[in-house]
Structure formats: structure tokens, C-alpha cells
Amino acid sequence: MAIVLTAIAVVAGAALGYVNDITKGPIETIKAQQLADGIGEVLSAKGLEVPKAEVTEAGATIYRTEQGTAVQVTDPKGFGGNLTVLVGFNETGQVLGYRVMESSETPGLGAKAQDWFQKGQKGDIIGKQAGELTVSKDGGEVDAITASTITSRAFLRCINAAYKALSVSYSDGQSGASSQTGKTSNNI
């Protein structure tokens, strides 16, 4: 019996390894295309190639283009786990657009984050100055997704973290100027 179970485990492991090797390339290609599409979407500029990534100490990934800057961040405290958002900013730090890149949120509730905060929707953040966006339940001005406050908070933490990462990257030497502790510039 032990020999049979060992043989089954070896065959199953080999099959899984083979499938992993076959699918690794196509999965990476799809992720790269989704990133390129996402950057184009959040900056309202179609056909952009993915610029060189700059990873911050906090784990944010920054993509600078002539149309604006896209920043990708992950918040581990969504309702279902990690929530990864790509946010586009103009030179003054206003939100140009966003795209939820990965989400473990509840289908039908937390998954509404992709649309809820878009222009013209209840939680509209497009054109707002990022940095201290909070839900109205916490004294802020952004309407949370109905029955999904935890996801809304995680989403806005992503937006604020993206802005902070961008602010820090500019004050830490992008311009050659000295960093000023505790202060960020509105001119990003």
C-alpha cells in the first residue's frame, strides 16, 4: 500500500510540475499585458508600453510616463485578504484613474471596488487629491461600498499609500533635492 501511494504521489507531483512549466510563460505574458493595459487605463493613454519599474522600500511599484505616473500598491487588510490597486496620478497628485489588479474580496460586494470609486459613481475619487482619503463613516468624504466598509477602507488605504510612495520617491532624490522629514510636496 505504501508503494502504491508513493507512486501516485510521484506521478501527481511530476504532472503538476509539468503543467506549471508549460503555463509559466503564458501566465507571465498575460500579467504583463494586464499591467500595460492597466497603466494605459489609469493614465487615460492607450498603447503605452510598460515603463521601467521603480520599487520603493514600502513595496510600492512606480511607473513614470509622460502622461502621468502610475503606482501599484497592495493592502493586506481587505475583507478577503490582499487588495492590489494600480493608481494613476497627475503632476499635482490628483487621481486620474485606478484599476483593481488583484482582489480576494467577496464577489458581488467587495468586488464592486473596480466600479464604485470611478467618475460619476457614488464613491467617485477621480480628480480628488490623494493622501488622506477616508470613508464617510470615518469622517471622510468618500462613500463606502454598501455593506463593504472593510473593502472600502482597504481600497482607500491603497490610494493613500500610492500617493505617499509617489511623494516620498520625489522627495528622496528624484529631483536631486534633499529629503524633508514629515513634509510632502503638492507638486508631484
Grid cell 505617499 is found at 164
Alpha-carbon dihedral of residues 167, 173, 176, 178, nearest 10 degrees? 80
Pairing of strands 53-55, 68-75: unpaired
pLDDT number for residue 43: 92
Give phi and psi for 184, each to the nearest 5.
-125, 150
pLDDT number for residue 187: 46
pLDDT number for residue 172: 54
Dihedral-angle region of residue 50 (phi above 0 means left; psi in -120 to 50 means alpha; beta otherwise) = beta
Q: Is the pLDDT of residue 32 over 80?
A: yes
pLDDT number for residue 136: 92
Instruction: Tell me the pLDDT tens digit for each residue of 138-173.
Output: 999 999 998 888 889 999 999 999 999 988 876 655
pLDDT number for residue 49: 79
Higher pLDDT, 15 or 148: 15
- Side by side, the strands of the sheet bearing 61-65 are 53-55, 61-65, 68-75, 83-89, 95-103
Q: Is the pLDDT of residue 180 over 90?
A: no
How many residues make up the chain in this entry? Answer: 188
Higher pLDDT, 72 or 111: 72
**Mean pLDDT across 27-53:** 88
pLDDT number for residue 181: 40
Task: Supply the pTM of this predicted model.
Answer: 0.77
Instruction: Tell me the pLDDT tens digit for each residue of 78-136.
Output: 777 788 999 999 988 899 999 999 887 777 776 788 899 999 999 999 999 988 899 99
